[in-house]
Amino acid sequence: LGCVDKVTGEAKSGCQFQIQPLALGTSDPYSNGGHTHTDSSRPFILGGSDAGFKYDGAIHSVDSDGQALPYYAPIVSGDVVVKISGFDSQGSTIDDAPPITFRVKVPGLVPLSGDTYNLKCVANPGSDGCPARGYQHLDFYNVRSDVGPRMSKIATDYDKLAPSDEDLTINDASLKWGGLYDIDNDWESPRHTYHRQGTDVDIRRPPISDEDNFERVVCKNDGYPYEEDDAHFHLFFEPYQGADWIKGLCKDKGASQ
């Protein structure tokens, strides 16, 4: 950032700037939180959570060479609209720069196909946790482009081993733009920590009759199956940095029997 004399066009020293986030959200339907809501009155509010836009609120003095100020993206996806205000060396207000919009999203996420498996809220929209039952989220079946084909292969391979089982059913994956997944309508302390980058999916567990071979199939297709609870498996398709335990999920499960 820097400032110039409007008359001479020369760079000035002694100017001061402050960055303020104005809003998370523009006219784009995904711009507040990275997905649409069936409850439009419950947007994410900047400043209401540590997940929001991080800024220091400080006054930054700059010389005639200007100064680069850091921007810290939130873990909530969306359009962050930022205002930059300033003062000259005498303390007089200078013309504000036009608001800047930063689009925060995980690039390249694509919808799961549901070709060889079911998507819970597509196959049965009246299920608990689906929009037809009042759930306030849409667009939560998105993944990184390499995950979809691997998920399809897992479903096909497992069907060959357990043809009498129901088709595998995915509960959820990531939001349309990725980022923090406010499951249970909670921005402050949500679960689904690993559902932010399009690399993880949850699979319904009860219909799977041969769990050992299911886990082997997942590992064979470069996934990592985790028995998260009695209701579902969590499939990692990325061994997160610093989480070596994820790789250990496939120890001795490299191939199906």
- Per-residue tens of pLDDT for the chain, all 257 residues: 888 888 898 988 888 888 777 888 888 888 888 877 666 556 676 654 445 555 666 777 888 888 777 767 778 888 988 888 888 888 888 887 788 898 999 999 999 999 999 999 888 877 777 776 666 666 889 999 999 999 999 999 999 999 999 999 999 999 999 998 877 666 766 677 889 999 999 999 988 999 999 999 999 999 999 998 889 999 999 988 888 899 999 987 754 33
Domain end residue (candidates: 54, 85, 104): 104
Cα–chain center distance at 189: 15
Residue 256 included in any domain: no
Give the CA radius of gyration of the chain. Answer: 24
Could you tell me the pTM of the whole model?
Answer: 0.83
Distance from C-alpha of 110 to C-alpha of 231, rounded to nearest angstrom: 26
Pairing of the two strands 100-104 and 118-119 = unpaired
According to DSSP, residue 189 is labeled S
For residues 151 and 143, the answer to whether their CB atoms sit within 8 Å is: yes
Distance from C-alpha of 119 to C-alpha of 116, rounded to nearest angstrom: 10
110 by DSSP, 3-state: which? strand
Give yes or no: residues 29 and 124 share one domain. no
Residue 257 included in any domain: no
Total domain count, the chain: 2
Give yes or no: residues 67 and 139 share one domain. no
Q: Which residues span the domain enclosing 158?
A: 110-250
Give yes or no: residues 94 and 116 share one domain. no
* Residue closest to 45 by CA, chosen among 27, 29, 21: 21
Domain end residue (candidates: 84, 104, 124): 104
* Residue closest to 102 by CA, chosen among 164, 19, 183: 19
Give yes or no: residues 166 and 246 share one domain. yes
Give yes or no: residues 43 and 82 share one domain. yes
91 by DSSP, 3-state: which? coil
- The enclosing H or E element of 148 equals helix 147-161
